[in-house]
Chains A and B, each alone.
Chain A
Amino acid sequence: QSALTQPASVSGSPGQSITISCTGTSSDVGGYNYVSWYQQHPGKAPKLMIYDVTNRPSGVSNRFSGSKSGNTASLTISGLQAEDEADYYCSSYTSSSIVVFGGGTKLTVL
């Protein structure tokens, strides 16, 4: 099972919006609404930011939103803040009943 494809890095200025893409196949992202997004700060455990493509867990800012079109899911962060600087990973359930992660995207807030 191949990893999902994410851009290695994205950047934006405070207050701006950025979008991180996550491309898979019809056997994972395109076939199921079980895409999740995680935020990870250096030396910390990952934190769930989005589940089931579009849903935010309690306590996650509404500046974070998720969407999907075909085999590509996206995470959008609006009103960028300094504390958003982190690594972001997407994951998806697959037709093999396992989970696959993306390679991760480093977000830099300029």
Chain B
Amino acid sequence: EVHLVESGGGLVQPGGSLRLSCAASGFTFSSYAMSWVRQAPGKGLEWVSAIGATGTGTYYADSVKAWVTISRDNSKNTLFLQMNSLRAEDTAVYYCAKDRSVVAAMGGMDVWGKGTTVTVSS
């Protein structure tokens, strides 16, 4: 069965950093692009970042590109999101999602994790 499990969320002070992880299983991880999508409390979905299947192409929303880095380890079937200089407005549930395509950001996201909660507060 295809599975995505996020981890690494938690409470962090403004200006702090977090590294989110997403463990994938049940599919050939290295054959698909992967994405991060977040959802602030009571708000809609916001695409954050995507990375191509081989890791060579990375893409970011304008709202985060200055302090977020996406990466992946295909040998460990794991996706990462390094977030620095966190602000209160980064408070959200962060979802890891499998793209349908090898190319990032195209074709929709067909498998989603349950999400990990990031709370930025002093």
List residues of A whose CB falls within 8 A of some B CB.
Answer: 1, 3, 34, 36, 38, 40, 45-48, 50-52, 57, 87, 89, 91, 93, 97-104
Contact = CB atoms under 8 A, between A and B. Distances in A.
Nearest to A99: B47
Contacts of B61: 1, 98
A51 to B, nearest CB: 4
A99 B105 contact: yes
A36 B47 CA distance: 13
B11 interface: no
Contacts of A99: 35, 47, 50, 105
A40 B109 CA distance: 13
Interface in B101-117: 104-110, 112-115
B26 to A, nearest CB: 15
A79 to B, nearest CB: 24
A103 B109 CA distance: 17
Contact of B105 (A3, A40, A93): A93
Contacts of B105: 93, 97-99
Decide if the interface of chain A is mainly helix, strand, loop or mixed. Answer: strand
Contact of B44 (A48, A51, A104): A104
A45 B35 contact: no
Interface residues of B, number: 25
Interface string B61-98: 11000000000000000000000000000000001010
Contacts of A34: 106-108
A33 to B, nearest CB: 10
B1 to A, nearest CB: 13
Contacts of B62: 1
B108 A36 contact: yes
Given A36-B109, A51-B107, 6 more contacts: A3-B44, A51-B110, A89-B45, A98-B47, A98-B60, A100-B47
Identify which of A98, A100, A103, A104 gathers the most chain B CB atoms within 10 Å of its CB: A98
